[in-house]
Structure 1
């Protein structure tokens, strides 16, 4: 009996210990679960914070890369001196080879031969030595005022043995003068016989540019040249005239300017006809600020420029500031021949037009790769080196004074194999770059226009780039930095008239002051006599006559 009692006590004790252990275990489990939940919550917060920091760092890194690219571009654009260092099958058919994208052995051999010939030619050329500046003598036709300076202490004991002459170029402000046209009147003496003659005789007034105006042709020419060639706004010229004693109201100057443009407008339209009738032109466009009275601010408008390459004529066109495709279609209506442009999409309409050959500009393609140098030095450097070889071919033809046929043959022999290899390199290299990167955009731009870029080799007259057109536009860029804007669409059209005619003077190496003074005197006669051809007054014809 006692044994049973002891067993029960033991069992009760064991059960009690088990219960206590179970309770303790439950308590510990609850405590552990709460601690784990806390740890999990803390871990989740830390992971969220880490992810947030990673996203922030990634965004900052992208911004830094973008700013580094922009800084590199601005340094090259504004602080680094412009350099031309990187100017770094069937030749009559320009399309990629149907045998595949890989460079064929014969194509590679032709490209290597072209490289060797260009390198050999470059090594043979003598090194150009810098010329030391030489002071040129002053022109003999300039008026000279003599000033004699005698040394001190000279008396009869001295004999003059010679002299030292020093010539210094001086300047006086410009001079305005009055041209007085005197026409004597004569009355007939009374005679016995009546004669059918007027009682009073007086000479006819010579033709003046602007009727009912006291502005002479030379003054009008000076106003136009100062504004559109020397970039002096009219208010500055009025100040200059006031300094030499002549006060001219702004309204009078503006009236003279409008009258001069109206007088020259017929010659301007005749220039357009001559340019469009040529068979090789370059086209470009540039901005000009124009005041919009409705918006009470200046808006960006566009001037179109057409350059006849062979005739060396320049024509500017303004159509309410529009850059739309319809403007260039109307501007070049009836043109037949080669058109050289940049990659602006508006010109693509001429790709399929019968009788028109669309040419590209290697300078624009080169510019894209120059902007990519900081991003992909190896790829952009290779592309610039290939473009430099094409320009070296042009230098070689120019230095050897080749005619157009010889230049075209040289291009087919040297430039064409380089272009074939370069085109296939572009196709193979493009998958290695990001499409939206600067290098990707440069490759895409060049390849999309490669058929236009390569056509210049077909004719020795065609230029490798559109730089001559951009040079013709440069006075417009300088002018808008000085007179800032055009007051309205009519003022912009007048600017197109003057820029066109002065651009032709520059291209023909004609003194614009002499030409404009003479033409403003003669053009009233041409405008009233339709048997005369206004083209005779264009600078290149005027110079020859």
Structure 2
């Protein structure tokens, strides 16, 4: 079966490269990474911790998985070398290094910022819930904005500037009055510090109406792989991990386009063995 999959991926590689170029030609993408265990002949008796780096174009509804042996910046730096535009990501420091490239503008993720305050409720319920209430207002306003201007990105931007951006600034102002009252190493202190550190990237969201408030869409694209890890446990080699990345890219993009992946593959490779 492994040889069958490898042969299939060899035929599909030109299409994978075309998908990669199409996504990189966009000027707004989301990025995230997820671990995957891989058998390595140099590590007898244990598995290697590799990573699937994922790049998602929310506007064109396309996703690219790209396997790398590590979580360092070399992988995304190489893949994004020709990219110009917004890169939406979480607070992982590698993305800050990628964002040092003047061609790239980093946009943050409100869900990651909100999650820090959610996790701080047990240690400082009052302050955590004050922040969470403001985040809730942001998402309620975002829902109204999307209903008022569905897919009209030109209208979404000024509506967000009017209704949502001030709420984000309000969180920052509130933290400015409260941060000195809490321990920096407490959960609420860390949540506040994360928000302040990420604020320039969070504010960059309002630079373009296409940019999502968070990275939830790319996390949804990664979810099938997370489920798969519990079933197949590991990939048989680094090459197999990249083949998996290729198929996750195609099938994930099919799902976003409401296309049946099996029917798509049957049509793309007629006569190829599609039954094992």
TM-score by length of 1: 0.48
1:262 is aligned to 2:44: no
Deviation, 1:522, is 8.8
Pick closer, same or farther for the CA change 1:492–1:351 going to 2, 3 Å: closer
**1:293-350 Cα deviation digits (max 9, x unpaired):** 332211321100001121111000012x211111111011110111000000001124
Aligned to 1:303: 52
Given candidates 83, 94, 112, the residue that maps to 1:364 is 112
| Cα distance in 2 for residues equivalent to 1:331 and 1:482 | 29
Q: How many residues align?
A: 270
CA contact (8 A) 1:393 1:410 kept: no
Q: 3-state DSSP class of the match of 2:179?
A: helix
Task: Look up the match of 1:508.
Answer: 257
Instruction: Name stretches of at least 5 consecutive residues in structure 1 with no aligned partner.
Output: 1-252, 524-545
Superposition pairs of residues 108-257 of structure 1, within 5 angstroms: 253-257=1-5
Residue equivalent to 1:461:
210
| Partners of 1:270 and 1:281 in 2: CA distance | 16
Deviation of 1:431 (Å): 1.1
SS at match of 1:493: helix
Q: Distance in 2 between matches of 1:426 and 1:416?
A: 16
Matched with 1:498 is 247
Contact 1:375 1:438 in 2 (8 A): yes
Q: Does 1:407 align with 2:156?
A: yes
Q: Provide runs of 4+ in structure 1 moved above 4 Å.
A: none
Q: 2:135 aligns with which of 384, 387, 391?
A: 387
> Match for residue 438 of structure 1?
187
CA–CA separation in structure 1 for the residues paired with 2:253 and 2:136: 31
Question: Which residue does 1:333 correspond to in 2?
Answer: 81
The aligned counterpart of 2:34 is 286
Answer 1 or 2: which has greater strand percent.
2
How far apart are the structure 2 equivalents of 1:260 and 1:282?
A: 28
Looking at structure 2, the residues matched to 429 and 301 of structure 1 have their Cα atoms a distance apart, in angstroms, of 40
Q: Helix, strand or coil: the match of 1:436?
A: coil
1:247 maps to: none
Instruction: Spell out, residue by residue over 1:342-368, the C-alpha distance to the aligned partner (whole angstroms, 9 max, x if none).
Output: 000001124342232110000001111
2:49–2:70 Cα contact (<8 Å) kept: no
Partner of 2:70: 322
Distance 2:167 2:120 in 1: 21
Give runs of aligned pairs for residues 39-78 of structure 1, distance below 5 A: none
CA distance in 2, matches of 1:316, 1:351: 20
For residues 461-480 of structure 1, the aligned pairs below 5 Å read 461-480=210-229
Matched, 1:421 2:177: no
Structure showing greater radius of gyration is 1
Q: Distance in 1 between matches of 2:241 and 2:47?
A: 12
Flag structure 2 segments of 5+ consecutive residues without an equivalent.
Answer: none
Q: Which residue of 2 aligns with 1:397?
A: 145
Q: CA deviation at 1:290?
A: 0.9
SS at match of 1:482: helix
- CA distance in 2 between counterparts of 1:262 and 1:351 reads 33
Q: Aligned partners of 1:254 and 1:352: how far apart in 2? A: 40
